[in-house]
Amino acid sequence: MAQNNPDDSAQMVNPLGSDFNQEEDQSVSQILNQDEIDSLLNSGEALDGQTGVRALLNTTTVSYERLPMLEIVFDRLVRLMSTTLRNFTQFNIEITLEGIDTMRFGDYLDAVAQPSMMSVFKAEEWDNSGLMTIDSSLIYTVVDVLLGGRRGTAAMRLDGRPYTVIERNLIVKMVHLILSDLSAAFDPLSPVTFRFDRLETNPRFAMISRPSNAAVLAKFRIDMEDRGGRIELLLPYAMLEPVRELLLQGFMGEKFGRDSIWENHLAEALWVSEVNLLAVLDRHMTSLKQVLQWKVGTKLLLNANPDSEVEMVCGDIPMFYGHMGRKGDHIAVQIEDKIKRQKD
């Protein structure tokens, strides 16, 4: 009798044992350990550097479609503001557009440097609000220039105290001028009136949108010789929604997918198109049983006489009223009135 070798029996029990162990090792290696799970969910002890899902949800990067015409509007605003503020301060002013960015509204309020003035304004035709922020350097510079400060000296900055009534009133006058220029900058695109609403120094009271909503931020640098500051315009995307199609244009007057030549050709072709009109003498309701009993010679009596009105229809759409008559050897209908259809 032949004796079985123990090694042979092991191979018979698991002939693919080596492959099975390799697959098991790979499946075990794909399972996350506790440290990797904490890193993914950011549920560990160290929360300073956000990682995983929380870093994805709390990211400040907001990607939205470009609005090419908005850059042209801001460039036009720079030219208008240069003339307006020069006449307002009687000072040589240089204004530059530092950049246009997109960010969340809440992130912007958290990053506003204090102290500063935040002007809330409303777009009357668009029924929404925007925000203008003026930093303290520009505030003290404008106040110093308007009150006759010496030229060539830096404006005195007094921190730790609220703005006075005189300072607020002078800045409000400047805000009115800038909003008027902003309206003029939008006029070639869409007429809109920006109206000053209120002036705030606390960002919590300047909440005009949800913190998670996206907004367009435009930064302007205003220099008066060796001093100056910044003005920031924050326009929520919800505010620009009524003119979104216009802001997407690559140039002024661009038409998306429209061809005036084909529009005129189609309109001319419609005027010379032939349509079939049917004259309806009367409408009679009957059952299907009676219709099936009809045969050649069956008479159908209509509730109409030679003077009854005839309805002219094109397909299923009623068009005209008229009266039956005769012209030569042909039966004709004289149109007398147009049927007024109710709009859906």
- Tens of pLDDT, residues 210-254: 888 888 899 999 998 778 889 999 998 888 888 888 887 766 555
Q: Which of 11-25, 250-264, 296-310, 314-328 has the lowest mean pLDDT?
A: 11-25
The whole-number pLDDT of residue 162 equals 80
94-104: strand order across its sheet: 94-104, 214-224, 227-236, 128-135, 116-123, 194-200
Q: Which of 41-55, 57-71, 108-122 has the lowest mean pLDDT?
A: 41-55
Confidence of residue 255 (pLDDT cuts 50, 70, 90): low
Q: Which residue has the tokens 């801001």?
A: 74
Alpha carbon of 264 to those of 103, 121, 268, 281, 310: distances in Å?
44, 43, 6, 38, 35
Q: How many CB atoms lie within 10 A of CB 238?
A: 18
Alpha carbon of 94 to those of 78, 121, 220, 229: distances in Å?
9, 24, 10, 11
d(CA 37, CA 45): 13
Residue 317, token pair as written in the block: 């759409």
The per-residue pLDDT for range 61-78, each reduced to its tens digit, is 454 557 788 888 999 999
Answer yes or no: is pLDDT of 170 > 50. Answer: yes
Residue 216, token pair as written in the block: 């367009």
- Indicate the domain borders of the chain: 68-247, 274-283+308-344
330-338: strand order across its sheet: 278-280, 309-314, 317-327, 330-338
Predicted model pTM: 0.57
User: Does residue 115 have a cis bond before it (omega within 30 degrees)?
Assistant: yes
Instruction: Show Cβ contacts of residue 108 under 8 Å, excluding neighbours closer than 6 positions.
Output: 215, 217, 234
Determine the topology of domain 68-247 in CATH.
Chemotaxis protein chec (3.40.1550)
